[in-house]
């Protein structure tokens, strides 16, 4: 017989008053080992999807085909746009999955600086960008955080693609 999962079976059942999705999710301010490990691996995660695309195109002969058609500039523009997008998506995908799971398991309560004793984000502190947005519009704050994470992942993917033009090695 299967049991339905409810809050009493949730791993978050031991949380005291003052925690919500906005303070528990991996992109929040909880300082968990999983969040630390994720941020340690973000550069590698962002670099993997398309880091060796240009080199594999060059080795397969596709780049020479593009070069004969005088479309080199368009090729590199498209390559870097796809690389940026892939790096950004790979970066925010685990954050979005974690946020979705937290919305399923943890109460969606608006953060309150006065009532909560967590002190995760001070109104004048440097724990996050836009602390007033965190307290007034927490979901907008998460969307901004995901947008910045997407941009950082895309930039890291671009940094990984740049040195490939000087090497002859591909990722295994």
pLDDT in tens, 117-145: 555 665 556 666 777 787 788 899 899 99
User: φ, ψ for residue 94 (rounded to 5)?
Assistant: -65, -35
Mean pLDDT of the chain, nearest integer: 77
The CA-based angle 139-143-144, given to 5 degrees, is 115
pLDDT band at 5 (very low <50, low <70, confident <90, very high): very low
pLDDT at 97: 93
In the chain, beta strands by DSSP E: none
- The percent of residues in the chain predicted with pLDDT above 90, rounded, is 18
Whole-prediction pTM value?
Answer: 0.77
CB–CB of 42/155 below 8 Å?
no
């Amino acid at each position: 017989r299967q049991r339905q999962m409810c809050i009493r079976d949730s791993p978050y059942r031991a949380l005291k008053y003052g925690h919500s999705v906005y303070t528990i999710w991996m992109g929040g301010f909880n300082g968990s080992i999983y969040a630390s490990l994720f941020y340690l691996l973000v550069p590698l995660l962002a670099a993997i999807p398309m880091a060796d695309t240009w080199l594999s195109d060059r080795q397969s002969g596709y780049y020479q085909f593009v070069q004969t058609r005088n479309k080199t500039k368009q090729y590199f523009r498209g390559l870097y746009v796809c690389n940026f997008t892939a790096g950004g998506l790979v970066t925010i995908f685990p954050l979005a999955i974690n946020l979705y799971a937290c919305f399923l398991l943890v109460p969606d309560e608006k953060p309150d600086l006065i009532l909560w004793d967590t002190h995760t984000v001070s109104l004048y502190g440097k724990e996050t960008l836009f602390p007033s947005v965190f307290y007034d519009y927490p979901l907008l704050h998460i969307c901004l955080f995901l947008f910045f994470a997407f941009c950082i992942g895309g930039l890291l993917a671009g940094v990984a693609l740049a040195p490939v033009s000087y090497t002859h090695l591909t990722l295994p």
